Structure 1
Amino acid sequence: MPRRTGLLWMCLALVACQRPEPVTHGMVIEEASAPQEGGAISTAPVRVTPPRPETPRQAKTTVRENSKPSHERREIDWSDKELTTGAASISCELDYSALGDGDPLTKLDHETLQKALQPCEQGGVARLRYKGKITAEFGTLVERATKVADELGIGKRVLDIDSAGGQVEDAIQAGDFIAESRWTIWVREGAICHSACVFILSAGDTRMIAGQVGIHRIIRMSSTATTRAELNAELRVVYERVRDYLERNGAAVAVADQMMAVPNRGLRLLTTEELQLYGLDGVNPAQDDLDRLRLMRKCGEDFVSRRDSFVRAFDKRCKQPDTDLDALNACGLALRTDYGFPDNTCPAESPLSEFDRDTAGLQPPAADAPQTVSKVAGKKRGGDS
């Protein structure tokens, strides 16, 4: 018996030494940007209080007297401000590879923005390129650009972003505004959207991604915690705000849980599958639900059915790992003709309508998507940044 027991322990020891490697399912961890360059930084004060018992709430009905979106009702502060923490430019063209990113924008006063956006009035589409940290200045830039675009009747807006992150609270505030004001978000090849930038990404009506999207743990720069328990209590308050924000903007709250598991000195790059799973790529699911009934009434049931079929086909055929944003758009433009788009009854509501001459004053790219996509085979998703 002692001999058998000894052999048993030897076998168990051998098994323990040969335990399998953990499965990562393609997880990529990179070194994160320093806090001064981006990150996901929270500086807002938090108040840690014990949970209170829930009390029944009486349902009440509210009637809005003003049907305009809240971003149109909000008063804009037009005091003199300059953009000091990032680089911005405005273009009336979507073909950035051939036509560039437009004219640089440093001042954020009404006159400067109106002058920059005036040429976009005829085409009805504007692209705001921004590269830098997510700060309060970024929020001011988006808010004021939206206001002037509204005044000029520019309904198609693309935010072409490249950011390593920044302030969590500033990103949430800017994201809530973006969610109300109908922006498409681009993360093109060579660009990144890391950390707090993911909150901006989640707010867009449509997200087109060819670059890197990454997440990590939020940093509490203003924390007064002296123990791990105190710090975690503070972070729970911050992450509760993040979860609420993600939920109201159509993204999975699991993103917040994934952030908690990645040290802030590292960065987890989200895969194409994860971006779609978490509701961060393509059509925003929250906005899609809001649009469905409106489009059913305006454009008809057949339009909505074809639109849904196009979205499914686009995700399957066009979103290849080695495709840049130009090729992604070209593939979608070629594919949509199979589903009867642009629609004669609702051209402005058709997929990728920002490229249409009739609704945006622009010549669509040539419908040679298969050849265009083949040219970019071998390019790595994300590229240099």
Structure 2
Amino acid sequence: MLRRFCWSPLLCLGLLACHPADKGKPLAVPDPAAVLAADGDHMVSINAADAPPPPAPVQPAKDKPWPEVVLENGRAWIGCDTDYTGEAGDGTELEALDRQSLDAALEPCRERGLVRVRYVGKINPAFAAMVSRLAVVADVMDIGKRILDLDSSGGQVEAAIVAGDSIGESGWTIWVREGSICHSACVFVLAAGDNRLISGKVGIHRMMRISSTATSRAELNKELQQVYDNVKDYLQRNGVAVGVADLMMTVPNRSLRLLSNAELKQYGLDGTNAVQDDLERIKQMRKCGDDFVRRKDAFLVAFDRQCKREGADLEAVTTCGQALKDQYGFPDETCPDESPLSELGNALLEPPPAPADPPVIALPDAPVASHEAGT
């Protein structure tokens, strides 16, 4: 039986460009938007001149309409806890990214103060706009615990960096749950989380340069060098080893290199974001004192060793962490919001009980019913 092959649009264009009849003709440059829509599982980078405009800054004020953005090549759901196996599942699907729709989607999460965004799809400018807008609405509603439940085969490098910078400024935990993947450009989004919980598969490979006019390895390398310099700078400010970018260069774009648990830790892609951890330590030292910081450090070491096992789902990890917190005196009475795993601290709590019916008080001139037998 002959194996079926799927031909990449870029490869087909490249073969046509090499036809002898085309000698002397300028190389055809593929349309970036068309390639982004058909790039399969590739990681792509685009020339600055061809890049879609970045999402316009959004304002908390409701009277200022947001530019229209359509979530393309992806779907998102909003939930208010970490349990996706129950009746609520992944939550309510997000139909639009306008302010009114996001307000309605996050309103049920306001009381608990936790939102989980399940996203399945490509990393693109619409995804970047989505995480930015969700953070604005979560800030207004005082929803401080934010989880991005991610399943993506990759997408556009520049959009991943824009999304990552937004995520890094707004306090998200990134979760790649069992059965999910985070491949290619998705790894840059993973890098930006304050904390990363990984039970699925994380993989990397080279990027393709859209609108490239290179005809030699040297020319292609020169085109990619600026992109990789930006990528390395981005990884450094998120506490991830730049060796990830170097390793990407060795893996053909049509292939995939899965990272082991040991490599994820080695490169700084699993667990607490090192840069964010340093920043929080400085703040917590001032606010909560030396003893708090020492206990939190000891807890995080024990949590990594005892609770984070390969294949463990988020509920099991969280249950283990909750039990471990008691041993180290958390949540701390002085600094409860700075206690470890505070973003998941109330995730498994039952919803607050409904208020009891008020007692019936008889008016002075009304007969009071007797509860004695036979009356």
Structure-2 change in CA distance of 1:295 and 1:277 (3 Å): same
Q: 2:177 aligns with which of 188, 213, 221?
A: 188
The separation in 2 between residues aligned to 1:220 and 1:35, in whole angstroms, is 14
Structure-2 change in CA distance of 1:284 and 1:77 (3 Å): farther
Q: How many Å apart are 1:339 and its aligned residue? A: 0.9
The separation in 2 between residues aligned to 1:363 and 1:74, in whole angstroms, is 31
Moved more, 222-231 or 80-89: 80-89
The separation in 2 between residues aligned to 1:215 and 1:270, in whole angstroms, is 8
Q: How many Å apart are 1:254 and its aligned residue? A: 0.6
Q: 2:254 maps to what in 1? A: 265
Is the contact made by 1:121 and 1:153 (CA closer than 8 Å) also made in structure 2? yes
Q: 1:13 maps to what in 2? A: none
Q: Percent identity?
A: 57
Matched to 1:205, the amino acid is D
Is the contact made by 1:185 and 1:201 (CA closer than 8 Å) also made in structure 2? yes
Please give the TM-score of this superposition, normalised by the length of structure 1: 0.75
The separation in 2 between residues aligned to 1:293 and 1:232, in whole angstroms, is 40
Q: How many Å apart are 1:235 and its aligned residue? A: 1.2
Q: How many Å apart are 1:87 and its aligned residue? A: 0.6
Q: 2:166 maps to what in 1? A: 177
| Per-residue CA distance 1:165-221 (angstroms, 9 max, x = gap) | 000000011111111111111000000000000000000001111000110011112
Structure-2 change in CA distance of 1:355 and 1:287 (3 Å): closer
Q: How many Å apart are 1:293 and its aligned residue? A: 1.3
Is the contact made by 1:82 and 1:106 (CA closer than 8 Å) also made in structure 2? no
Q: 1:37 maps to what in 2? A: 40
Q: How many Å apart are 1:73 and its aligned residue? A: 7.8
Q: What are the ranges of 5 or more consecutive residues in structure 2 without an aligned counterpart? A: 1-36, 50-56, 352-375
Q: How many Å apart are 1:324 and its aligned residue? A: 2.5
- Is 2:235 the partner of 1:246? yes
1:2-151 equivalent positions in 2, closer than 5 A? 36-45=39-48, 78-98=66-86, 99-151=88-140
How many residues are aligned here? 305
**Which structure carries more helix by proportion?**
1
The separation in 2 between residues aligned to 1:288 and 1:316, in whole angstroms, is 18
Q: How many Å apart are 1:319 and its aligned residue? A: 2.1
1:275-290 equivalent positions in 2, closer than 5 A? 275-290=264-279
Is the contact made by 2:268 and 2:274 (CA closer than 8 Å) also made in structure 1? yes
The separation in 2 between residues aligned to 1:97 and 1:250, in whole angstroms, is 33
Moved more, 336-345 or 226-235: 336-345
The separation in 2 between residues aligned to 1:110 and 1:74, in whole angstroms, is 9
Q: 1:9 maps to what in 2? A: none
By relative contact order (CA 8 Å, sep 6+), the higher-ranking structure is 1
Please give the TM-score of this superposition, normalised by the length of structure 2: 0.77
The separation in 2 between residues aligned to 1:265 and 1:182, in whole angstroms, is 33
Q: 1:230 maps to what in 2? A: 219
Structure-2 change in CA distance of 1:317 and 1:35 (3 Å): farther
Q: 2:150 maps to what in 1? A: 161
Q: 2:335 maps to what in 1? A: 346
The separation in 1 between residues aligned to 2:321 and 2:211, in whole angstroms, is 45
Q: How many Å apart are 1:361 and its aligned residue? A: 9.3
Is the contact made by 2:65 and 2:99 (CA closer than 8 Å) also made in structure 1? no
Q: 1:218 maps to what in 2? A: 207
Q: 2:31 maps to what in 1? A: none
Is the contact made by 2:43 and 2:155 (CA closer than 8 Å) also made in structure 1? yes
Q: 2:53 maps to what in 1? A: none
Matched to 1:209, the amino acid is I
The separation in 2 between residues aligned to 1:77 and 1:163, in whole angstroms, is 30
The separation in 2 between residues aligned to 1:169 and 1:223, in whole angstroms, is 16
Q: How many Å apart are 1:45 and its aligned residue? A: 4.0
Corresponding residue SS for 1:111: helix
- Is 2:279 the partner of 1:303? no
| Per-residue CA distance 1:261-306 (angstroms, 9 max, x = gap) | 1111111111111111111111100000111111111112111111
The separation in 2 between residues aligned to 1:361 and 1:35, in whole angstroms, is 40
Q: How many Å apart are 1:350 and its aligned residue? A: 1.2
The separation in 2 between residues aligned to 1:38 and 1:118, in whole angstroms, is 34
Structure-2 change in CA distance of 1:43 and 1:77 (3 Å): farther
The separation in 2 between residues aligned to 1:179 and 1:203, in whole angstroms, is 5
Q: 1:200 aligns with which of 189, 193, 201?
A: 189
The separation in 2 between residues aligned to 1:96 and 1:300, in whole angstroms, is 37
Q: How many Å apart are 1:314 and its aligned residue? A: 1.1
